Amino acid sequence: MKDKNLQYYISSFLTTYLGGERGLSGNTFISYNYTFQLLIPFFHDRVKKPINKVTMDEFTPDNIKAFLASLEEKGCSISTRNQRLAAIKSFCRYVQSDSPQNLLMWYKKS
């Protein structure tokens, strides 16, 4: 996974995977897209790198927990935070299917 950055996977997830998935409602796509519109600047601030330099190695449970906590601090409800988490979980399943050799790495980090 080190050869593909976070930006690559997010772009591919939103355009190829979600864009081609059957039965996906427009509202679900909008919600998932908005999740990453929030996540990208968060990662930029958190890891002090431009998003095209953020690697999947930095997409850790601790960083995701911090992102979710920041949403609550900004006044998001628990249900909204959980919607954002659902988008992130779907993204993780997509990345795992694209890079199955890295499945164990995700479990070691949690």
CATH of the domain at 57: 1.10.150
Tell me whether residue 101 is in a domain.
yes
Tell me whether residue 88 is in a domain.
yes
Give, rounded to a whole angstrom, the gap between the first and last alpha carbons of the chain: 17
Give the tens place of pLDDT for each residue, 24-38.
788 888 999 999 999
Mean pLDDT of 85-106: 78
Q: Are 24 and 18 in contact (CB under 8 A)?
A: yes
Higher pLDDT, 96 or 46: 46
Mean pLDDT of 67-93: 94
Give the tens place of pLDDT for each residue, 46-74.
989 888 888 888 888 899 999 999 999 99
Q: Is the pLDDT confidence value at 76 over 90?
A: yes
Mean pLDDT of 104-110: 51
Tell me whether residue 26 is in a domain.
yes
The backbone torsions φ and ψ at residue 55, rounded to the nearest 5 degrees and listed phi first, read -100, 165
Q: At what angle do helices 78-98 and 61-73 cross, to 10 degrees?
A: 160
Tell me whether residue 49 is in a domain.
yes
- Helices and strands (H and E) in the chain: how many: 6, 0
Number of domains in the chain: 1
Which structural domain, as residue segments, surrounds residue 95? 6-109
Tell me whether residue 1 is in a domain.
no
Full-model pTM:
0.84
